[in-house]
Amino acid sequence: TPPASSIAPSTHPNPLPQPRKNPLRPGGPRESELITYLDRNLDNIRYKRARTEDPPPSQATSEEKDATREEEKGYTTFTTFAKDLENVVDIIWVSGSPNLQIPYLLTVCATFIETLPLFTAPRPALEPALALLEKVDWAFSSLLVGRDLETGEALSGFGDGRRVSSTERVRVRSTIERARAVVMRVFDEEGEGEGEEVEGVDSGDEGDVEDEDEDEDMEEIDGMMGAGRGSGVLMVGEEGGIGGEGEGDEEGSERRKMIGRVFERTLIELGDPIGDPIGIVT
């Protein structure tokens, strides 16, 4: 039986989608298709991040720059990047397969850690980062106890007595400590704290993976694979808001509290005290 959670019932709803009732069969065709899809999406995110680091050369003509931006777009806002990663987290969670969930969630965190420092002028909006990390926190903390923290029900893949291994726990602890450190470094420093425009998300050209012989649980994963293509503009970080100019003492205090709660649930399940992250971010 999965261990009981150390966390008191939360007043905040679980931000994750409903997972499959049964894990994907290890080595099966559906697992292989999902791995291919996740790898392709993460590669695309990393490629767009690289384009953010390496924009078109200044000596290029305006036509060449326009062509490059159209064909090889990088991220223009942190919000778009965070939303792309959120979509990946949702699909990872819906898979209901712990053997995939833990390593891919670690990869998501590593990608976040590597990318966040690229968005420094202006400072990126805090809300998208917190929304992404909240989902990962719920996922890790639930996996550590093998239960849904909101309902107490056993998670898919934990009915046979599976436990998160000591090696996995060490990797989770190390990764979230690095994530907390980079969030603290980027968001808790004094600065103008300007917000950013959040653009509609286009997660790529990948379509749904279809297989009429698969059970109905896969339909949600398939639907999510084709999701994430939205439109519209949302403004965050406006004056007086989180990440906005005119940040007063009260707002700044609340901001620091929110930053300090990053990965709070996972740290509790790991048995670690919650405090300022210590160490060097590499």
pLDDT at 230: 35
Q: Are 155 and 2 within 8 A, CB to CB? A: yes
Q: Is the pLDDT of residue 8 over 60?
A: no
3-state secondary structure of 139: helix
Task: Please give the single-letter amino acid code of residue 269.
Answer: E
281, part of any domain: no
Rounded to whole angstroms, how far apart are CA atoms 140 and 138? 6
225, part of any domain: yes
Instruction: Calculate mean pLDDT across residues 17-24.
Output: 92
Residue 94: phi and psi, rounded to 5, are -65, -25
Domain count along the chain: 1
15, part of any domain: no
pLDDT at 177: 96
For residue 45, the enclosing domain spans 29-56+67-270
Q: How far does CA 163 lie from the centroid of its chain?
A: 23
3-state secondary structure of 161: coil
pLDDT band at 226 (very low <50, low <70, confident <90, very high): low
Q: Is the pLDDT of residue 117 over 60?
A: yes
2, part of any domain: no
81, part of any domain: yes
* Bridge partners of residue 235, in order along the sequence: 197
Q: Is the pLDDT of residue 242 over 50?
A: no
Q: Are 112 and 179 within 8 A, CB to CB? A: yes
4, part of any domain: no
pLDDT band at 251 (very low <50, low <70, confident <90, very high): confident
178, part of any domain: yes
Instruction: Categorise residue 51: left if φ over 0, alpha if ψ from -120 to 50, beta otherwise.
Output: alpha
pLDDT at 20: 92
Rounded to whole angstroms, how far apart are CA atoms 113 and 107? 10
3-state secondary structure of 234: strand
Using alpha carbons, select from 28, 30, 83 the residue that is nearest to residue 210. Answer: 30
pLDDT digits (tens, 9 = 90+) for 47-60: 998 887 665 555 55
Q: Is the pLDDT of residue 25 over 90?
A: yes
pTM of the model: 0.73
Q: What does the DSSP 8-state code read for residue 194?
A: -
* Bridge partners of residue 234, in order along the sequence: 198
Using alpha carbons, select from 178, 31, 17, 176 the residue that is nearest to residue 87. Answer: 17
198, part of any domain: yes
Tokens of 267: 């740290």
pLDDT band at 202 (very low <50, low <70, confident <90, very high): very low
